[in-house]
Amino acid sequence: MVFFGQFLSCYSPAMSHYRKGQMAEQNANNVKAEEEYLAALEESPGDPVVVFALAKLYVNMEEHEKAVERFDEFLTLTADDDFKWKDERWEADFYLEKSKQKKEKSSRKKK
């Protein structure tokens, strides 16, 4: 479970988009979930909670290049607070490596 920090500490348009993204993802509407997570990032740029959710969504969508970019972003955003984000950083590292491998396999198939 993601530590919500200050992102969810008060109501905001970003939180509304984030929640809509979660609901869309639960309903297997990945396109809508992506739209909502991106809208949340427009309202709250660089929010680690949203970046992490978007990265995981990209893994599920098999958008490995995008997943790699977002996991890298998440790890950079949370580097100064390693303890607070310990579990999520471990999960991000795991999925980052998995996405890199799948991205590499995918590019070899295209050749």
Dump pLDDT digits (tens) for 22-32: 999 999 999 99
Give a yes or no: residue 98 inside a domain.
Answer: yes
What is the model's pTM?
0.84
Helices 30-43 and 13-26 pack at an angle, to 10 degrees, of 170
pLDDT of residue 10: 54
HEC letters along 31-74? HHHHHHHHHHHHHCCCCHHHHHHHHHHHHHCCCHHHHHHHHHHH
Q: Tell me if 26 is assigned to some domain.
A: yes
Q: What is the pLDDT of residues 74-102, one digit of tens each?
A: 999 999 987 899 999 999 999 999 988 88
The residue with tokens 């988009």 is 17
24 inside domain: yes
The answer to the question of residue 44 being in a domain is yes
pLDDT(9) > 50: no
Question: How many domains is the chain built from?
Answer: 1
Confirm whether 1 is domain-assigned.
no
Residue 65 in domain: yes
Q: Is residue 5 part of a domain?
A: no
Residue 53 lies in a domain: yes
In angstroms, the Cα distances linking 23 to 3, 16, 53, 78 are 18, 11, 12, 25
- CATH, residue 83: 1.25.40.10
Domain residues for the domain of 71 are 13-110
Tokens for 98, please give them. Answer: 């998995």
